[in-house]
Amino acid sequence: MSTDTPTIVLVGHGMVGQRFLEALAERGLTATHRVVVLCEEPRPAYDRVQLTSYFSGRTPEELSMTDMEFIKDHGIELHIGDPAEHIDREARTVTARSGLTVTYDTLVLATGSYPFVPPVPGKDAEGCFVYRTIEDLLAIEEYAKAKATTGAVVGGGLLGLEAAGALKGLGLTTHIVEFAPRLMPVQVDEGGGAALLRTIEDMGLSVHTGTGTQEIVTGDDGAVTGMKLSDGSELATDLVVFSAGVRPRDALARDCGLNVGERGGISVDEQCRTSDPHVFAIGECALASDGRVYGLVAPGYEMAETTAATIAADEEAAFTGADLSTKLKLLGVDVASFGDAHGATEDCLDVVYADSRSGTYKKLVIGRDGALLGGILVGDADAYGTLRALTGSVPPIAPEQLVLPAGSGGPAQLGPSALPDEAIICSCHNVTKGTIRGAVTDHQCTTVPEVKKCTKAGTGCGSCVKVLGQLVNDELEANGVEVDHGLCGCFSQTRQELYEIVLALRINTYQQLLDRYGREGARGGDGCEICKPAVGSIIASLAPTIGADGYVLDGEQASLQDTNDHFLANLQKNGSYSIVPRIPGGEITPEKLIVIGEVARDFGLYTKITGGQRIDMFGARVEQLPLIWARLVDAGFESGHAYGKSLRTVKSCVGQTWCRYGVQDSVRMAIDLELRYRGLRSPHKLKSAVSGCARECAEAQSKDFGVIATSNGWNLYVAGNGGATPRHADLLAQDLSDAELIRLIDRFLMFYIRTADRLERTSTWLERIDGGLDHVRDVVVHDSLGICEELESLMAAHVANYRDEWAETISDPEKLSRFVSFVNAPDTPDPVVGFVPERDQIKPDLPLLTIGTRPLEGSATR
């Protein structure tokens, strides 16, 4: 470019800065202007929203939002690790730390924010950190591994809970200290905070609300040893993370005389222009014209678009405020808020659903005219996309139905098709339903990735992707386009259709099914990682009926299995494996307890009693698995199938045998059910429980099938689910005899296996299936399709032909040959598998993360 080419200088290269560069490119400004970027961090823009995922294995490259080809193609001059230090507004120059001075025609400040650290004594001690950048995370991880066993997070907001999750993931005993009376005080109300608190405390974290930090206590070496709190208590901790909020980074603006707010933030007008017409400010450093500093990425993106449009002078643009709706997963818990979540609007009403057992809380704020004004969702935020899009309008169903669990006439049945075209689907980029429909109809987009590229919907926080997929399929079908519902690129049939083909034609190998029914280009091939385990599961569940070998490691079946099934054990994070014997109903003799203790002692395994009433043993190397199981099988144990998509456990209370409240023998029934359905391969894992009375000590209503005793027999509940998206089970039938109960469970399980999608839990399946619970009841209880006899016979064949996988494995030398760390050196143990002591047991000794690469955990040569 010539020397008279106008220059745009961007100070800061975070998520908002990168979006600004893209907006410039979209308007052709990178071709007509010189664009210079001064970036403080040692890496280009990355996804700060997903920062914590770094601890679960995402590399900086995977977090990166910067395509260097984009930077090169548009001639952008990107200076990494060279922040701006001085602005001369009169000369219109910016000087960087390196001494580089750039003259600008337009200056855009995207300096973001900095973590607020309370001014308490000891805040700068060794062991105190903030939680803002990848470098912060690296420092926390290194210190935690070397010097800490306990950590405390100051702040219980969004970032504070993410930081607490990171410390817990690093193996530290973790505390959260929040000055407000509840967690996430900005996003949730008292009820939502209480639900969140219960769930987080159940995870083993200690929460201290309504108290502040008065002092960081240090030892003689100057390192952190504890905290003094404002309520007079003291907390022992080796590491402190400050996550008490952020403040706008406006120092550059202050130093060069730009107007800033009384409480911080660079003052801007509706075009994001500062008090100097040649200088703009966007993102977390800007104080918008409505007097607010926005700390979310979506408003920052809107500011970036507004500024680029203003510079281009080819369209009118204004930033007058933004939607503060947000959906996050914190410590595995879904939390969302949207619209007027706290009911600040005058004369509004609340509709609330709360289930303290599952940690679910939902509140909707409804105007007097029936319009949905906002809401809060904790524990179950699946309806967030639909509800947020309905905000400001009168929903087509009653408000109370919107908060009821799915399957009860709630949002899952409402669906995105009920939304008006003007409803905002993607708040990050302000994309409406009408725009998405237009991408399909007018721009011939036929897939979600194509619609993302065309509209940018789903490319921000990602919370709208599920709704986006439904809208794309709905619009394609409305236009007469046949939507491909095939299992994968190898099969045009769904999992349900493949199940029926295998059953009807008695196809008993994957290759036979692929060659006969695979897509044109897939026949004769090797298949893919999606269909191989799915078909392997179908063949295993129908093995006795179709004449297949039910043993998952025989012949072709072995090549179809996922990693865990491949070694009949769960792979752990350092490359070792877990040993989980079946203990039906949680009932075990002293002799068997002694065997487990001796095995764990002799092989140096970590032991833990699980929530499913069995004993896990962790830390076995792959070559040790047969040796361990030989001893367990000899003592009468069998595989607990903790590794398989099959029945895990049937939990029970002690029932009428011991408990004064019990009305039925829940232990006997739990044992009978677990022994009946053990090894049953299914689309996803199955869990069950039997409670001996209505007090529900076994928590049967959070299981795939749960049984509760009554004075007249048994009540059967189905499609419950704990985990990240809890669902309360539905009552299928009541007051059943033993025989009636087992017959209905047989039918229910086989109907689920027959009709569910790949990796679909019973809870999701029931919400998706046409007719929901009523249809399942018609089929399973009333035999409306006339298939119950077949369902029962399929289950009977499974029960009659069950074989314990580990008992078969240890008796066959050929099968044992696979259990080696290295095929070319079978006697060599994996050197990556290491342990360190913790609480008189062991834990994985993992390598520290490094910038740019992540050492493999386990061996790639197996």
Q: Which residues are annotated as a binding site for siroheme?
A: 697
**φ, ψ for residue 258, nearest 5 deg:** -75, 150
Retrieve residue 409's tokens: 């006439």
Question: Which residue, 376, 368, 320, 324, is CA-closest to 346?
Answer: 368
Q: Are 242 and 115 in contact (CB under 8 A)?
A: yes
Distance CA 572, CA 276 (A): 57
HSE-CB at 18 with a 13 A cutoff on CA atoms is: 18
Q: Are 827 and 32 in contact (CB under 8 A)?
A: no
Secondary structure element (H or E) that encloses residue 353, with its range:
strand 348-355
Retrieve residue 292's tokens: 């607010």
Query: Which amino acid, 743?
Result: R
Q: Are 622 and 833 in contact (CB under 8 A)?
A: no
Going by DSSP bridges, is the β-strand pair 213-218/224-229 parallel, antiparallel, or unpaired? antiparallel
Question: Which residue, 387, 382, 495, 443, is CA-closest to 726?
Answer: 382
Which residues have C-beta within 8 Å of that of residue 543, sequence separation ≥ 6?
A: 508, 549, 550, 801
Q: Calculate Rg over the CA atoms of the chain.
A: 30
> Which residues contribute to the annotated binding site for [4Fe-4S] cluster?
653, 659, 693, 697
Distance CA 103, CA 84 (A): 12
- DSSP E strands, 730-812: 730-736
**φ, ψ for residue 676, nearest 5 deg:** -75, -40
Q: Are 285 and 20 in contact (CB under 8 A)?
A: no
Going by DSSP bridges, is the β-strand pair 835-838/841-844 parallel, antiparallel, or unpaired? antiparallel
The tokens 């080819």 sit on which residue?
314
> Which residues contribute to the annotated binding site?
653, 659, 693, 697
Query: Which amino acid, 516?
Result: R
Identify the three-state secondary structure at position 130: strand
Retrieve residue 596's tokens: 């487990």
Distance CA 372, CA 808 (A): 59
Q: Are 519 and 492 in contact (CB under 8 A)?
A: yes
Q: Are 106 and 10 in contact (CB under 8 A)?
A: no
Retrieve residue 125's tokens: 């001690």
Task: Output the DSSP codes for 89-129.
Answer: TTTTEEEETTS-EEE-SEEEE---EEE-----TTTTSBTEE
HSE-CB at 725 with a 13 A cutoff on CA atoms is: 14
Identify the three-state secondary structure at position 170: coil
Beta carbons within 10 angstroms of residue 728's beta carbon: 20
Identify the three-state secondary structure at position 288: coil
Q: What torsion, rounded to 10 degrees, do the Cα atoms 764, 425, 374, 352 define?
A: -10
Retrieve residue 41's tokens: 């961090």
Q: Are 168 and 205 in contact (CB under 8 A)?
A: yes
Secondary structure element (H or E) that encloses residue 153, with its range:
strand 150-154
Retrieve residue 3's tokens: 């020397």
